[in-house]
């Protein structure tokens, strides 16, 4: 079993999208960026991925500058390249050309070798009524479990 240390997750993604399929991708980073990630100073909230010229890039992923990095720090929301196999990129191109599908990052973690990996999802946007339906199901489940606990006493 792989050891993974979860650094950041995108909680809003599962609320706003139906997840179709997930992929694991590496990220091209600078030295100060990986140090900042290891300290947990990263946000995936507004980030998204796009395919350009046969390469996958992630936009708006915020990695706070490393405090001891001085001149080696780079822009915190710069575009970063994702590392995927060519066959996976071809599949993603096929998915994203379909109407309504997009690439959304779900989690960022460190693998057993200390490399930063990102879990990228092919997702379809939810409508407002889908979100309300999910909230209603979650609330009903919560109420049922509370009633079961009361009945057990």
pLDDT digits (tens, 9 = 90+) for 14-60: 888 888 889 999 999 888 888 888 888 888 888 989 999 989 999 99
Please report how many Cα atoms fall inside a 13 Å half-sphere around the Cα of residue 127, on the Cβ side.
2
pLDDT digits (tens, 9 = 90+) for 55-73: 999 999 888 888 887 777 7
Q: Is the pLDDT of residue 1 over 70?
A: no
Q: What is the pLDDT of residue 35?
A: 87
Q: What is the pLDDT of residue 56?
A: 92
Please report how many Cα atoms fall inside a 13 Å half-sphere around the Cα of residue 128, on the Cβ side.
0
Band (153; pLDDT cuts 50, 70, 90): confident
User: Angle at CA 46, nearest 5°, toward 44 and 47?
Assistant: 60
Q: Is the pLDDT of residue 83 over 90?
A: yes
């Amino acid at each position: 079993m792989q050891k993974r240390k979860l650094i950041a997750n995108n909680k809003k993604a599962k609320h706003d999208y139906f997840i179709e399929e997930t992929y694991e991708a590496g990220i091209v980073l600078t030295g100060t960026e990986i140090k900042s990630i290891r300290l947990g100073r990263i946000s995936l909230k507004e980030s998204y991925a796009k395919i350009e010229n046969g390469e996958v890039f992630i936009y708006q992923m915020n990695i706070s500058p490393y405090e001891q990095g001085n001149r080696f720090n780079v822009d915190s929301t710069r575009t970063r390249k994702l590392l995927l196999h060519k066959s996976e990129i071809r599949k993603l191109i096929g998915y994203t050309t379909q109407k309504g599908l997009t690439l959304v990052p779900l989690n960022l973690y460190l693998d057993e070798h200390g490399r930063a990996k990102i879990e990228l999802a092919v997702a379809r946007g939810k409508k407002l009524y889908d979100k309300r339906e999910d909230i209603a199901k979650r609330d009903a489940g919560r109420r049922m479990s509370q009633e079961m606990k009361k009945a057990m006493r």
